[in-house]
Amino acid sequence: MTGAASSVPLWSPPSIDYRSIDGTGNNTSHSDWGSAGSHLLRGASGAHYGNNIESMGGAGRPSPREISNALFDQRRSILSSVGHSDYIWTWGQFLDHDLSLTPAAGTELLPIPVPLGDRFFRTNGSGPTMIAFTRSVFDPQTGVSNPREQMNLDTAYIDGNTVYGSDAGRAGWLRTLVGGRLKVTSTAQGDLLPYNDGTIINAGTPEKPNFSTALFVAGDIRANEQPTLASMHTLFVREHNYQAGRVGRDNPGFTDEEIYQHARKIVIAEIHAITYQEFIPALLGPSGLPPDTGYNPSVNAGIAQVFSTAAYRLGKLPLCQRGARPRSGFAQHPARPRPWPTRFQYHTRRSGIAAQDTLFADYFGRLYCGTTGKIVWQCGQY
């Protein structure tokens, strides 16, 4: 084609067929960009610490709780005007956990003052005066003579971290190493996520610590956070094993590794398709994203501080005060008697989160940083 040579991009696809687990090599010009363990990116204005290095800024400003109460002082539930179901925030959280993870360091406590008259905590002038909060993990090579930099322990790419993990140890533990399949807990009603054997870290609670064998294990440590999230993890482990079975039947000469990688590639593509063809148009409208102009290796695809800690928190706003369950399909594992959903389908099932209208409510903002157990702990954790 005449003139085509001048438009040929400098970048060419990598010779490898599959993504790395930790995100390295995605950008062949900058191999570490967007990989697990990268710094969260900052805007042009840089860091805004109190001492320009590591101390908390905002001295003299109102309590974060006071600001939250002012912004989200909502006295009634507001239904989605376009008929979104609870899948909008369920997918939003599942996607969030594919992109970023910055846990609490656990060593720097920074409790948040609760103002007098807080209508959820201190309605009668009594109640808790502080909300537990802990500062995030950071690169130990920063924060002394240069600004402290927080880290993203996930890959920044939409690459199925939630299903496969973002480090070799977790990814290996999740595999059966037979037929390309992932581990599951088999029940009469269907396969669930595998339970921890006490060796894999999770985001636990005071009641069920990080290595508790009462917790499921998935690609992301937060899979047990709430039932609809655990359901999405379960759905995609089942999908991987379905695709692995299909790939194995169609390619009888494939090794376990080849089946696993082929099935993984398909599942990642499905996550892409749902995100870009369904979730983002539902969230931002049909013109929410500008047209794709092609791959640009000079753009760092890492996660920005402002996106991770502020902009994408919107995924936790449009949700309901109570989660609906499917009318049937719940089973109790004999060793761990608690209900978990065992059937979540893509087709329109008039029950559970697919049939429940989403709400824009301040209930979650009031409860999420609550005063007991898991909820407090998670506030500083993520």
- What single letter denotes the amino acid at residue 274? I
CB atoms within 10 A of CB 172: 11
* CA 382/CA 379 separation, integer angstroms: 6
- CA dist., res. 45 & res. 284, Å (int): 27
- Percentages helix, strand, coil for the chain (3-state, rounded to 5) are 30, 10, 60
Catalytic residue among 39, 48, 84, 97: 97
Q: Record the tokens describing residue 175, joined without a space.
A: 């595999």
Residue 84 annotated as catalytic: no
Residue 324 CA to residue 321 CA, distance in Å, equals 10
Radius of gyration of the CA atoms of the chain, in A = 22
Closest CA to 304 of 28, 56, 45: 45
Taking alpha carbons only, the member of 344, 320, 380, 338 closest to residue 77 is 320
Question: Which residues are designated catalytic?
Answer: 97
